[in-house]
């Protein structure tokens, strides 16, 4: 049994992490810390552990001998310090994306993770989606990838997460774009590999987003492929769409994860119109807990085995997800200037 200490007991900890952890065998929450202690005490009531295990400081929680590993949901500007504290105490840590508030902090996190044998997992749940695994399985069948279209767009819909101060006044570059955009980067790069450079346009449609919130970019991939990436959830009335279309020399794949439609993959094979197969529809099982339970199962396995190589989203991977969005933001500030994606 791996006993977790939760740092940051806000909305997502209660509504997402706790139910997901409850679905994972040999994993449980035994302690918590929050800057507002009353919130941690309410969390303890929901999680079912005694209030005596609500700690007054981060250091106290990390040093608790009954805490085997840390689950951290903190303002992104605190990620580096939280990871350093856990590693210094010999505790594995899983921490919410994006990896950091700046590329400098992100590089430091990568170094900390490289220099320790402890598992350091960046919690990026989209990597664990079944649709992503299925796309990777099908990809070789369409030959060399030539180009792609990735669209994640929707109308502005106020929700409880918009009210958090760190989102409305973000310290992390890109604000909403980096907070949510790394999810899309996780899918895109898990399937197609790393992005080499970008040319992007950005704008801010809503004050509540805190920074630019709408992005349209051309991506040049390390593989030589290129494609278009469009991302925003701040539009006027429109149908919410999440669709990833990949065109190859021997066919195409369309992964549609739009609400009410997916997840579903449509595949078509052939080198030209004459040899084209009929479109094949491949249904994908919807995720329970949006894949959050799978990432915690992955963390449990790595902690139990004391093997960080088992982690599916390393700090190096998460650095790239973030660095692509940063490159887009910087390109947007420079009138779409071609911008290289930084490496850790």
- Percent of the chain residues past pLDDT 90, beyond the cut: 91
- Percent of the chain residues past pLDDT 70, beyond the cut: 96
272 and 304: one domain? Answer: no
175 and 117: one domain? Answer: no
The mean pLDDT value for 178-182 works out to 92
Helix 79-88 to helix 103-114 angle (10° resolution) is: 20
140 and 266: one domain? Answer: yes
19 and 97: one domain? Answer: yes
282 and 299: one domain? Answer: no
Torsion over CA of 190, 192, 195 and 199, rounded to 10 degrees? -120
| Residues with Cβ within 8 Å of residue 11, at least 6 apart in sequence | 160, 161, 164
Query: Which domain does 135 fall in, by range?
Result: 127-288+323-340
pLDDT at 161: 61
- Residue 173 in this model has a pLDDT that exceeds 90: no
151 and 35: one domain? Answer: no
16: β partners: none
Q: Average per-residue pLDDT in the chain?
A: 96
**Dihedral sign of CA atoms 63, 64, 66, 71 in order:** negative
Query: 53-57, 86-90, 209-213, 234-238: which has the minimum mean pLDDT?
Result: 209-213
- Domain with residue 185: its CATH number is 3.30.360.10
The mean pLDDT value for 67-87 works out to 98
255 and 274: one domain? Answer: yes
Indicate the pLDDT class of residue 164, thresholds 50, 70 and 90: low
pLDDT at 210: 82
Number of domains observed in the structure of the chain? 2
155 and 280: one domain? Answer: yes
317-333 pLDDT per residue, tens: 999 999 999 999 999 99
- Domain with residue 104: its CATH number is 3.40.50.720
90 and 237: one domain? Answer: no
247 and 209: one domain? Answer: yes
148 and 78: one domain? Answer: no
Query: 7-16, 35-44, 50-59, 201-210: which has the minimum mean pLDDT?
Result: 201-210
């Amino acid at each position: 049994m791996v006993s977790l200490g939760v740092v940051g007991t806000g909305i997502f900890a209660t509504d997402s992490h706790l139910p997901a952890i409850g679905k994972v065998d040999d994993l449980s929450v035994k302690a918590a810390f929050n800057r507002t202690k009353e919130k941690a005490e309410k969390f303890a009531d929901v999680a079912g552990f005694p209030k005596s295990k609500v700690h007054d400081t981060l250091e106290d929680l990390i040093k608790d001998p009954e805490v085997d590993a840390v689950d951290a949901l903190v303002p992104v500007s605190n990620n580096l310090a939280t990871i350093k504290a856990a590693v210094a105490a010999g505790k594995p840590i899983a921490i919410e994306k994006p990896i950091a508030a700046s590329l400098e902090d992100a590089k430091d996190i990568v170094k900390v993770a490289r220099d320790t044998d402890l598992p350091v997992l960046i919690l990026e749940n989209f990597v664990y989606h079944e649709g992503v695994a299925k796309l990777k399985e099908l990809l070789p069948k369409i030959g060399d990838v030539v180009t792609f279209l990735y669209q994640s767009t929707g109308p502005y819909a106020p929700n409880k997460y918009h009210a958090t101060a760190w989102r409305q006044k973000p310290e992390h570059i890109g604000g909403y774009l980096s907070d949510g955009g790394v999810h899309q980067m996780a899918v895109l790069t898990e399937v197609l590999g790393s992005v080499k450079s970008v040319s992007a346009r950005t704008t801010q449609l809503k004050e509540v987003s805190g920074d630019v919130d709408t992005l349209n970019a051309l991506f040049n991939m390390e593989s030589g492929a290129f494609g278009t990436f469009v991302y925003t959830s701040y539009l006027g009335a429109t149908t919410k769409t999440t669709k990833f279309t990949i065109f190859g020399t021997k066919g195409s794949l369309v992964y549609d994860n739009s609400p009410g439609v997916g997840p579903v993959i449509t595949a078509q094979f052939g080198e030209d119109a004459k040899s084209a197969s009929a479109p094949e529809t491949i249904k994908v099982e919807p995720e329970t807990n949006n894949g959050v339970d799978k990432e915690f199962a992955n963390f449990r396995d790595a902690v139990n085995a004391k093997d960080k190589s088992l982690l599916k989203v390393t700090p190096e991977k998460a650095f790239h997800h973030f660095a692509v969005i940063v490159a887009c933001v910087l390109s947007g500030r420079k009138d779409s200037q071609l911008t290289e994606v930084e490496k850790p």
